[in-house]
Amino acid sequence: MKPSWDWKLTDLAAVRKNGRTVFSCFSCGGGSTMGYKLAGYQVLGNVEIDPQMMQIYRQNHNPRFSFLMPIQDFKRLPDAELPDELFNLDILDGSPPCSVFSMAGDREDKWGGEFAFREGQAVQRLDDLFFDFLDVAEKLRPRVIVAENVKGMIIGKARGFVSMVLSRLREIGYKPQLFLLNSATMGVPQKRERLFFVAARSDEEFLPLKLDINEPLVCYGEVRSGEGKPLNPERETYRRWMRKRPCDLSMGDITEREKGRASDFNTIILKDQKVSNTLASSSWFLRSDEPCRISDLDSIRIQTFPADYDFMDTDVSYVCGMSVPPLMMHRIAEQINQQWFATN
């Protein structure tokens, strides 16, 4: 039997549908979308600001209702201009951009600032986007809200922001729960800790959700495949590979971070016998036993993207690094259906 991380979009045709509907905000390449589909949900459509990401989303997911615009514009659309199906959702899903809460860099200096992730995107206050998403939730009134973000939101001063999010969820009529989950416990070949806000509408008589998922770990050697791009011995990345290769990964990363070597911190060495670190769009993932980057197929498998996903002309590592691992969302969505929807 194939491992769960080895799958194709064409496999979705055989998935038994559960009759539940989802709409995705900040959809990027559709990592969450694919997770819901694997769990049997119908994903009606999406909102995405990035034209290139929207192009590959539409190519791979063929959404019925697709909105290429900032979330602020979407929430201001008159109700009459939105399809009726969006006012009868089971789940409103969203991954508000979270770089201002990442533990990388001087994050507090970024709070309140305006940024664009990529050339061509609109400049936005990223720490406001979560509340724009909740404004959409207040407008559409789904049965359940699921929002994913980085672990850094519950560390240090950022915890005050989390309290504001939880208060806003209660204010608009939802009962929120907060989960810190590691994708490695869900069959994903990657140690990716993420915060999930799961909130049921107050009129839903659901018991508290439990997300105690503990599947066997999948090490890098199990998914490793293909040839990586060789490093140039004359470049700094090769020298970083030489410096970091003998070191224990976790201690090496901490040491380099304390020295202020941001470039070293973003250079990750993968060993066959260990689970991969978090796949990030800004990091260089190198193999420990040869001076090369990991292959595109490695990135696809580490992120549990389907083997037949059409990345078109986009960078594979960027799309994967910016997305929720589909298998991670599959496990969460599966539990929401089993514990909540299927019992009511």
Please identify every residue annotated as catalytic. Answer: 98
Cβ atoms 29, 9 nearer than 8 A: no
Helices (H), the chain: 31-38, 51-61, 71-75, 129-140, 159-171, 220-223, 236-244, 249-258, 262-265, 296-302, 316-321, 326-339
Task: Tell me how far the alpha carbon of residue 13 is from its chain's centroid.
Answer: 23
CA distance 91 to 198: 10
CA distance 25 to 72: 11
CA distances to 131, 157, 293, 329, 336 from 147, in Å: 11, 20, 32, 11, 13
Cβ atoms 166, 130 nearer than 8 A: no
Kindly provide the residue ranges of all beta strands, DSSP E only, lying in the chain, ordered along the sequence. Answer: 21-25, 42-48, 65-68, 91-94, 114-115, 124-125, 144-150, 174-182, 193-201, 267-270, 284-287
CA distance 298 to 218: 13
Interstrand relation of 144-150 and 193-201 (parallel, antiparallel or unpaired)? antiparallel
CA distances to 123, 204, 339 from 207, in Å: 40, 9, 8
Instruction: Give the pair of three-digit tokens for residue 288.
Output: 């420990």
